Amino acid sequence: MYLQRLAPHIRMPKGKGAFDLGESFQMQRNYISSVRISSPVDEASYLHELPVVRHLTQMKELVFSKAVTFLVGENGTGKSTLLEAIAVAYGFNAEGGSRNFSFSTSETHSDLHRHLTLTKSAFPKDGFFLRAESFYNTASYIDELDAIPTRQPHIVASYGGRSLHKQSHGESFLALVQNRFGGNGIYLLDEPEAALSPSRLMSLLVHIHELVQNNSQFIIASHSPILMAYPEAEVYHLSEDRICSVDYKDTEHYQLTRRFLENPERMLHYLLEGN
């Protein structure tokens, strides 16, 4: 009630007490349980100097043991590059979509996937690679497929029945998760927060939780201190120096946002007046 008064858009879980937060958040077996670099990256490539690649090369593997893993860290540390390479190595289209999507608007993805080995511990029934930056192209591809005459039901039906282009960025993003993500799946999300208002971001948390309860795994690159609060998630912090697991409340995202919101005037004073 409190939350719904505060933000009426938030979608609450179905039924009273639908989730037991004490329940194990650990899946029996994750679909992707680890990633490692299995062949050297060409020294002439920019990838060779990318922090995430340097550290992954030194590490034995990066383990995904929780149902939800976040990749966090400064801009440019390689979160999207790693997520994209995992997605492509797993068989997803580099620009996003399901595993059967095959559109390409520009060949800009790196060849890091060729150097990765994923440990696949179970087979998902569903999957999606969602990237905020090329979501427009994913929506166009769905419209193009639906424009081809066929006896099959329109694809857009499984995306809420309305062209994603006829909804706002945030609405279409959430419609996709709500209607297309079916559970028992692997979902790779790159900055899903980009389109979402705070209340819709909280709705996304509810959806993620429902899907996790339905045997799904998420790997999410994010800057959102709301999203990365998901309980029992593994938060991997990527930096120039290393990749390490951190507590949510120790992330810079949490600390800095909290300090800002606690006293915006003070922070603005430091930022704008320089003392």
Ligand X SMILES: Nc1ncnc2c1ncn2[C@@H]1O[C@H](COP(=O)(O)OP(=O)(O)OP(=O)(O)O)[C@@H](O)[C@H]1O
Q: Please, which of residues 74-113 interact with ligand X by CB under 6 A?
A: 75-81
Rounded to a whole number of angstroms, the minimum distance from the CB of residue 81 to ligand X is 3
What does 189-207 look like in DSSP terms, one character per residue?
EESGGGG--HHHHHHHHHH
For Mg ion, the closer of residues 79 and 237 by Cβ is: 79
Shortest distance (Å) from residue 221 CB to Mg ion: 6
Q: Is beta strand 116-120 parallel, antiparallel or unpaired with respect to 32-37? A: antiparallel
212 burial type by CB count under 10 A (0-12 exposed, 13-18 middle, 19+ buried): buried
Q: Does 80 bind Mg ion (CB under 5 A)?
A: yes
Contact flag: residue 50 with ligand X (CB under 6 A): yes
Closest separation in Å from C-beta 188 to Mg ion: 12
Tokens of 234: 């593994």
d(CA 112, CA 39): 10
Cβ-based nearer residue to ligand X, 43 or 273: 43
Please give the backbone phi and psi of residue 243, each rounded to the nearest 5 degrees, phi first. -115, 120
Q: Which is nearer to ligand X, 4 or 58 (CB)?
A: 58
Tell whether residue 98 is a contact of Mg ion (CB under 5 A): no
Whether the Cβ atoms of residue 186 and residue 122 lie closer than 8 Å to each other: no
Q: Candidates 9-17, 35-43, 74-82, 206-214 — which segment interacts with Mg ion by CB under 5 A? A: 74-82
CB of 122 to Mg ion, least distance (A): 27
Rounded to whole angstroms, the Cα distance separating 153 from 96 reads 22
Q: How far is the CB of 221 from ligand X (least distance, A)?
A: 6
Number of residues lying near Mg ion (CB under 5 A): 2
User: How many C-beta neighbours within 10 Å does residue 162 have?
Assistant: 14
DSSP class of residue 184 equals S
Q: Are 99 and 91 in contact (CB under 8 A)?
A: yes
Binding range to ligand X, per CB under 6 A, among 69-77, 112-120, 194-202, 228-236: 69-77
Judged by the rule CB under 5 A, the positions of this chain that interact with Mg ion are 79-80
Judged by the rule CB under 6 A, the positions of this chain that interact with ligand X are 46, 50, 75-81
